[in-house]
């Protein structure tokens, strides 16, 4: 995946042209993953055909609320992000790290698991591209590279989708992560589904993307159509939720004892939903298992959450027994210490933690309260 | 001895989660609950080099993996020593190993004690309980390179006389030239003729030269809080000359698992040894 400099000529592709995309990727050896409807939500699964996409569906999101609803058109991408993110594929929730065989005197440690598929991600939003870049910095570009992440991440074919609507929980514009995907994709689609039209304005971000685009029966996109597509994305930049990130690192460091932490602790259930749905949360724990004969042992890694008491356990007890300290750790890490650790914020403004919090806790509102702007607001209560 | 003080800047490419095979050479009992394991690489492999203050991840077959500081002599080329207090199922399994048993070892990891910074100065070591273990390689280093340092002072506190680690060594170190070793216990019992009191009560027996002293501290966090306060407020030692080894939950030791975060730091990546300047704003923050 590479990015060419300068303006890229954009093409327009019909629904029939787009129908070729999944077979074209499969022929090149990719396993295509993208959004589909399951259990009343839009989740990311392996896609076999265009019909697997959530055509005609949209979502309604608010703090602590997510509902699917039928659209009046047959748009394929007429919704925002759901409970899952691409970390499901790149940083799997459970994975075997090593297994160890013991027989007689010999012990063998094996860490070669079967090679992961070559993924093509279809329908990656700008905030999600930003989230993948954040996880790259943690799991690839720091002192050590995580072999699990590295083997999955390498050579992913990215098909971005430009958002033309923002959910009420979206605040990517505040985090400067969207709504427009500008880089790190092979293809970027802007869907136009109205007035009897169903078209996709397509931008190639790499040579591999351009090659595939040529086989999707592209026509040149007129300046008027390009402008229409751009304006649709600009409309998604108008977002009701916002976060003022000016000086946010020092703001949180300096407010370690702010009374708002008690206020949020009274609402937080420490259920860890926010960390599970967050596309950048990377924390894991390991579990060791052995069989009854004692000849075979395995180490498994699974997602962990700083909202559990066990997370900070050392001999003598948990470092963060209180709910207050755990919420404070999560939010301070995400928005402040992440900057010291990895050179960027850990938040991309996708809004998942707001939507999927059963108590409707809103990270943007918590920041505002700590700034002192609306400490008494309790919309989420 | 080469000191790799910039341990952290290198980028490792091998699978960092895959342990290397070691064998237990011996297990020696230090106290009623604390044991020292001597490990050798399986086959004829070289043991990895380490610097005083670094730790390894020790994996017991099917039970689990633990971050344990290296407690042995850096110049002992054949083996790695680890001193472990048995406090739970995994540490119990570790200290129950027998000679010849297999152990998986990852590492060594982490920033070591800044022994270069102590050259030409007095080295003051302040240890509490099992905290003496990660300081022991530093003591060995100073004693082996005696001309590089001026005085060596070891202040060591434990809960009771039965909890004092390395008692024979403490006595031997105390007889070395320009070396002062003072011990104290929280509860003495009837047969104890030594000092009773927390480790900070030992400072009154010292004449410190704050302008030419480097201090290495390891022990329970509450003890370290009092030690740094004493050093800075009453002994005139500058924060830049005080180094502490910190502890947090640790699962991976390579910066992936997130458990060992301490404010902006990962203990495994940025520590475990920190200068007091780095952590003074964090120490004493409740539930950080």
Q: How many C-beta atoms lie closer than 10 Å to residue B76's C-beta?
A: 13
Residues B126 and B239 both lie in one domain: yes
Final residue before a domain boundary, out of B229, B245, B261: B245
Sheet holding B55-60, edge to edge: B64-69, B55-60, B102-109, B20-29, B34-41, B80-85
Is residue B44 within 8 A of residue A268, CB to CB? The reply is no
Q: Identify the DSSP state of A294.
A: S
Residues A69 and A203 both lie in one domain: yes
Final residue before a domain boundary, out of A236, A269, A288: A236
Whether A139 has its CB under 8 Å from any CB of chain B: the answer is yes
Residues B12 and B72 both lie in one domain: yes
Residues B165 and B101 both lie in one domain: no
Domain count within chain B: 2
Mean pLDDT for the stretch of residues B157-170:
97
B286, B281, B206: which is closest to B239 by C-alpha?
A: B281
In a domain, A3, yes or no: no
| Alpha-carbon gap, residue A381 to A240, rounded angstroms | 19
pLDDT at residue number B243: 98
Residues A193 and A53 both lie in one domain: yes
Residues A313 and A262 both lie in one domain: yes
| Alpha-carbon gap, residue B226 to B18, rounded angstroms | 39
Is residue B102 within 8 A of residue B22, CB to CB? The reply is yes
In a domain, B80, yes or no: yes
Between positions 244 and 283 of A, the ones with CB within 8 A of B are: 256, 282-283
Residues B20 and B88 both lie in one domain: yes
Final residue before a domain boundary, out of A207, A236, A265: A236
Domain of B97, CATH number, reads 2.40.30.10
Per-residue pLDDT of chain A (381 residues; tens, 9 = 90+): 444 444 567 999 999 999 999 999 999 999 999 999 999 999 999 999 999 999 999 999 999 999 999 999 999 999 999 999 999 999 999 999 999 998 877 888 887 678 899 999 999 999 999 999 999 999 999 989 999 999 999 999 999 999 999 999 999 999 999 999 999 999 999 999 987 899 999 999 999 999 999 999 999 999 999 999 999 999 999 999 999 999 999 999 999 999 999 999 999 999 999 999 999 999 999 999 999 998 999 999 999 999 999 999 998 899 999 999 999 999 999 999 999 999 999 999 999 999 999 999 999 999 999 998 544 444 443
With cut-offs at 50, 70 and 90, classify the pLDDT of residue B13: low
Domain count within chain A: 2
| Alpha-carbon gap, residue A83 to A65, rounded angstroms | 11
Residues A259 and A227 both lie in one domain: no
Nearest 5°: the CA angle B144, B228, B166 is: 40
In a domain, A377, yes or no: no
State the nearest Cα–Cα gap between A143 and chain B, in angstroms: 5
Write out chain B residues lying below 8 Å of A341, CB-based: 264-266
Residues A354 and A254 both lie in one domain: yes
Residues B69 and B150 both lie in one domain: no
Write out chain B residues lying below 8 Å of A335, CB-based: none
Residues B182 and B239 both lie in one domain: yes
In a domain, B184, yes or no: yes
Residues B161 and B98 both lie in one domain: no
Residues A345 and A323 both lie in one domain: yes
With cut-offs at 50, 70 and 90, classify the pLDDT of residue B10: very low
With cut-offs at 50, 70 and 90, classify the pLDDT of residue B76: confident
In a domain, B238, yes or no: yes
Residues A40 and A186 both lie in one domain: yes
Chain B residues near any Cβ of chain A (below 8 Å): 8, 10-13, 15-19, 21, 42, 59, 61-65, 87-88, 102, 104, 247-249, 251-252, 254-259, 261, 263-266, 269, 285-288
Query: Does residue B127 register a pLDDT over 70?
Result: yes
The helix or strand, by DSSP H or E, that contains position B140, with its residue range, turns out to be helix B132-144
Final residue before a domain boundary, out of A200, A215, A236: A236
Is residue A99 within 8 A of residue A110, CB to CB? The reply is yes
| Alpha-carbon gap, residue A40 to A56, rounded angstroms | 14
With cut-offs at 50, 70 and 90, classify the pLDDT of residue B267: very high
Write out chain B residues lying below 8 Å of A139, CB-based: 256
pLDDT at residue number B206: 94
Whether A3 has its CB under 8 Å from any CB of chain B: the answer is no
Residues B76 and B136 both lie in one domain: no
Domain of B234, CATH number, reads 3.40.50.80
| Alpha-carbon gap, residue A192 to A206, rounded angstroms | 23
Residues A70 and A126 both lie in one domain: yes
Which residues on adjacent β-strands are paired with residue B127? B156, B218
pLDDT at residue number A6: 46
pLDDT at residue number A114: 80
Is residue B7 within 8 A of residue B110, CB to CB? The reply is yes
In a domain, A194, yes or no: yes
Is residue B42 within 8 A of residue B25, CB to CB? The reply is no
- Paired sense of beta strands A41-46 and A157-161, if any: unpaired
- Paired sense of beta strands A296-303 and A94-103, if any: antiparallel
Q: How many C-beta atoms lie closer than 10 Å to residue B86's C-beta?
A: 16
Final residue before a domain boundary, out of B109, B134, B155: B109
**pTM for the structure as a whole:** 0.93
Residues A204 and A325 both lie in one domain: no
Residues B14 and B56 both lie in one domain: yes
Residues A266 and A305 both lie in one domain: yes
In a domain, B268, yes or no: no
Query: Does residue B46 register a pLDDT over 90?
Result: no
Final residue before a domain boundary, out of B61, B79, B109: B109
pLDDT tens, residue by residue, A35-70: 999 999 999 999 999 999 999 999 999 999 999 999
In a domain, A241, yes or no: no
In a domain, A198, yes or no: yes
Query: Does residue B237 register a pLDDT over 60?
Result: yes
In a domain, B277, yes or no: no
Residues A184 and A329 both lie in one domain: no
In a domain, A264, yes or no: yes
The domain in which residue B13 lies consists of: 7-109
CA A290 to chain centre: 34
In a domain, B14, yes or no: yes
| Alpha-carbon gap, residue B130 to B36, rounded angstroms | 11
The domain in which residue A359 lies consists of: 248-371
In a domain, B183, yes or no: yes
First to last CA, chain A: 45
- Paired sense of beta strands A65-70 and A284-290, if any: unpaired
pLDDT tens, residue by residue, A241-285: 999 999 999 999 999 999 999 999 999 999 999 999 999 999 999
Taking an 8 Å cut-off on Cβ atoms, the answer to whether B256 and A111 are in contact is: no
By Cβ distance, the residue of B104, B251, B264 closest to A109 is: B104
pLDDT tens, residue by residue, B248-264: 999 999 999 999 999 99
Residues A199 and A260 both lie in one domain: no
pLDDT at residue number A8: 61
Taking an 8 Å cut-off on Cβ atoms, the answer to whether B269 and A142 are in contact is: yes
Residues B206 and B127 both lie in one domain: yes
pLDDT at residue number A110: 85
By Cβ distance, the residue of B63, B247, B269 closest to A314 is: B247
In a domain, B284, yes or no: no
In a domain, A4, yes or no: no
Q: Identify the DSSP state of A50.
A: G
């Amino acid at each position: 995946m590479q990015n060419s400099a300068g303006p890229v000529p954009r093409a327009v592709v019909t629904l029939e042209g787009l129908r070729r995309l999944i077979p074209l990727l499969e022929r090149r050896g990719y396993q295509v993953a993208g959004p589909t409807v399951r259990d009343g939500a839009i989740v990311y699964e392996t896609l076999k055909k265009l019909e697997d996409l959530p055509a005609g569906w949209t979502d309604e999101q608010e703090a602590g609320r997510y509902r699917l609803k039928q659209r009046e058109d047959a748009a394929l991408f007429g919704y925002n992000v759901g409970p899952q993110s691409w970390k499901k594929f790149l940083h799997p929730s459970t994975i075997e790290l090593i297994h160890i065989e013991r027989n007689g005197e010999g012990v063998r440690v094996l860490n070669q698991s079967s090679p992961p598929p070559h993924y093509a991600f279809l329908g990656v939003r700008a905030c999600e591209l930003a989230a993948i870049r954040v996880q790259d910095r943690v799991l690839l570009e720091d002192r050590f590279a995580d072999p699990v992440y590295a083997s999955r991440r390498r050579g992913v074919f990215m098909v971005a989708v430009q958002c033309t609507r923002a959910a009420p929980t979206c605040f990517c514009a505040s985090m400067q992560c969207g709504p427009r995907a500008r880089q790190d994709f092979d293809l970027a689609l802007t869907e136009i589904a109205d007035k009897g039209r169903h078209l996709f304005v397509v931008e190639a971000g790499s040579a591999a993307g351009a090659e595939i685009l040529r086989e999707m029966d592209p026509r040149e996109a007129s300046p008027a159509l390009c402008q229409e597509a751009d304006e649709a994305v600009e409309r998604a930049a108008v977002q009701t939720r916002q976060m003022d990130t000016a000086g946010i690192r020092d703001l949180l460091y300096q407010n370690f004892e702010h009374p708002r932490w008690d206020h949020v602790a009274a609402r937080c259930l420490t259920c860890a939903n926010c960390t599970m749905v967050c596309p950048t949360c990377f924390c894991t724990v390991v579990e060791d298992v052995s069989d009854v004969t004692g000849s075979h042992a395995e180490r498994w890694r699974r997602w962990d959450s700083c909202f559990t008491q066990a997370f900070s356990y050392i001999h003598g007890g948990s470092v963060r027994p209180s709910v207050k300290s755990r919420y404070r750790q999560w939010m301070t890490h995400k928005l402040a210490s992440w900057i010291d650790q990895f050179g960027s914020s850990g938040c991309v403004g996708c809004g998942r933690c707001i939507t999927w919090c059963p108590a409707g806790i809103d990270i943007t509102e918590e920041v505002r309260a700590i700034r002192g702007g609306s400490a008494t607001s309790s919309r989420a209560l | 001895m080469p000191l790799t003080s910039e341990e952290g800047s290198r980028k490792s490419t091998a699978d960092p989660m895959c342990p290397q095979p070691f064998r237990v050479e011996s297990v020696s009992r230090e106290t009623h609950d604390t044991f020292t394991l001597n490990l050798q690489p399986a086959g004829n492999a070289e043991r990895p080099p380490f610097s005083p203050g670094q730790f390894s991840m020790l994996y017991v077959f099917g039970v689990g993996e633990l971050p344990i500081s290296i407690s042995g002599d850096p110049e002992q080329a054949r083996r790695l020593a680890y001193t472990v207090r048995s406090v739970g199922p995994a540490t119990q399994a570790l200290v129950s190993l027998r000679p010849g048993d297999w152990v998986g070892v990852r590492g060594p990891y982490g920033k070591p004690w800044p022994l270069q910074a102590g050259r030409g100065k007095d080295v003051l070591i302040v240890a509490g309980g099992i905290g003496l273990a990660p300081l022991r390689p530093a003591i060995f280093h100073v004693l082996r390179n005696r001309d590089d340092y001026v005085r060596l002072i070891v202040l060591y506190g434990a809960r009771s006389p039965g909890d004092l680690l390395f008692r024979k060594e403490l006595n031997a170190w105390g007889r070395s030239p320009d070396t002062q070793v003072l011990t104290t216990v929280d509860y003495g019992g009837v047969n104890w003729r030594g000092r009773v009191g927390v480790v900070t009560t030992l400072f009154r027996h010292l004449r410190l030269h704050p302008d030419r002293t480097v201090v290495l501290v390891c022990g329970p966090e509450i003890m370290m809080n009092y030690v740094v306060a004493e050093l800075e407020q009453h002994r005139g030692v500058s924060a830049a000359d005080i180094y502490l080894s910190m502890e947090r939950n640790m699962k991976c030791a390579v910066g992936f698992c997130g458990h060992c975060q301490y404010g902006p730091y990962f203990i495994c990546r940025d520590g475990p040894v920190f200068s007091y300047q780095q952590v003074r704003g964090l120490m004493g923050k409740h539930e950080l």
